[in-house]
């Protein structure tokens, strides 16, 4: 009885070993490059869909990413209404005012000072005299805030930060609108008090003619 049991056991293990061997050797015999049986081929071979395109998948036609509706405005973002033209510059100078409340002026100036140290000081210099290390190498160094730019209105400062002017590039991609307005407060601090309120309005109108030509 015992011997019989051993024979059955031996026969069974040999059959199992043969099966395992067959299993190993059968893979890739026909085509070396074939991965064999694929379970869920969709997972390996997903359809390659280009973004912002219309596709038909399983009979359904749809856009795989919806474009925003024309004229939509992203949350927290205010479109800038003044065009990058001499007229837009003048309009900004007359109509555009800092939306950050002046009651927190000192706070904005502090943040503005930090931003100024990162984005502006190398051209405009620490006191805004236009004597930064890079500014001095420009064909025309930046004018001094408390000199030629003393009475530059806040709207124009913001406009220049947004679009750039001359050799100064646009800072719209590096600085949010709020950061640009904080910088306006800091530039105003460097401008110092305006010369005289009466001369202020006269001067604001005068460069309008000069800037156009
Ligand atoms: C690459 C050097 C450079 C950098 C960086 C730079 N500026 Fe200027 N900036 C200039 C030059 C040059 C002018 C003069 C442009 C002109 O009138 O043609 C100027 C002009 C200005 C003006 C006067 C704009 C006007 O309407 O006349 C302001 C204000 C100003 N910059 C602020 C800033 C602030 C704030 C920063 C930092 C965010 C900054 N700039 C970064 C070079 C630079």
Q: Identify the structural domains of the chain with CATH numbers, from first to last.
A: 86-212 (1.10.760.10)
Q: Give the atom of ligand 1 at the shortest distance from the alpha carbon of 138.
A: 12
pTM over 0.85, yes/no? no
Q: Assess contact for 64 and 47: CB atoms under 8 A.
A: no
Question: What are the CB-based long-range contacts (under 8 Å, 24+) for 136-139?
Answer: 138/167, 139/167
Residue 157 pLDDT exceeds 50: yes
Residue 210 pLDDT exceeds 60: no
- Mean pLDDT in the chain? 84
Tokens standing for residue 106: 């000192």
Distance 123 CA to ligand 1 centre (A): 8
> Exposed, middle or buried by CB within 10 Å (0-12, 13-18, 19+), for 143?
middle
Across 182-209, average pLDDT: 72
Of 12-26, 27-41, 61-75, 124-138, the one with minimum mean pLDDT is 12-26
Pocket test residue of 120, 139, 186, 187 for ligand 1, highest count of atoms within 8 A of CB: 120
The protein residue whose alpha carbon is closest to atom 12 in ligand 1 is 142
| pLDDT at site 60 | 82
Q: Give the atom of ligand 1 at the shortest distance from the alpha carbon of 141.
A: 12
Q: Could you tell me the sign of the dihedral formed by the alpha carbons of 141, 142, 145, 147, in that order?
A: positive
How many angstroms separate the CA atoms of 59 and 56, rounded?
Answer: 6
Selected residue with higher pLDDT from 129 and 136? 129
How many angstroms separate the CA atoms of 44 and 150, rounded?
Answer: 66
Contacts of 176 by beta carbon, 8 Å cutoff, 6+ apart: none
Distance 156 CA to ligand 1 centre (A): 11
């Amino acid at each position: 009885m015992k011997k019989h049991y051993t024979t059955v056991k031996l026969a069974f293990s040999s059959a199992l070993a043969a099966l395992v061997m067959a299993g190993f050797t059968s893979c890739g015999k026909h085509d070396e490059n074939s991965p064999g049986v694929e379970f869920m081929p969709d997972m390996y071979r997903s359809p390659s869909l280009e973004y912002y395109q219309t596709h038909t998948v399983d009979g359904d036609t749809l856009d795989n990413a919806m474009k925003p509706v024309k004229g939509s405005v992203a949350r927290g973002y205010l479109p800038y209404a003044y065009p990058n033209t001499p007229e837009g510059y003048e309009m900004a100078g007359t109509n555009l005012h800092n939306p950050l409340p002046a009651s927190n002026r000192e706070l904005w100036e502090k943040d503005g000072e930090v931003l100024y140290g990162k984005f502006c000081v190398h051209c405009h210099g620490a006191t805004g005299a236009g004597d930064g290390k890079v500014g001095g190498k420009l064909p025309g160094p930046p004018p001094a805030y408390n000199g030629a730019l003393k009475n530059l209105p806040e709207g124009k400062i913001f406009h220049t930060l947004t679009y750039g002017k001359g050799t100064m590039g646009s800072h719209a991609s590096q600085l949010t609108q709020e950061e640009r307005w904080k910088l306006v407060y800091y530039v105003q601090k460097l401008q110092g008090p305006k010369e005289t309120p009466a001369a202020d309005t006269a001067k604001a109108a005068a460069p309008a003619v000069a800037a156009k030509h």
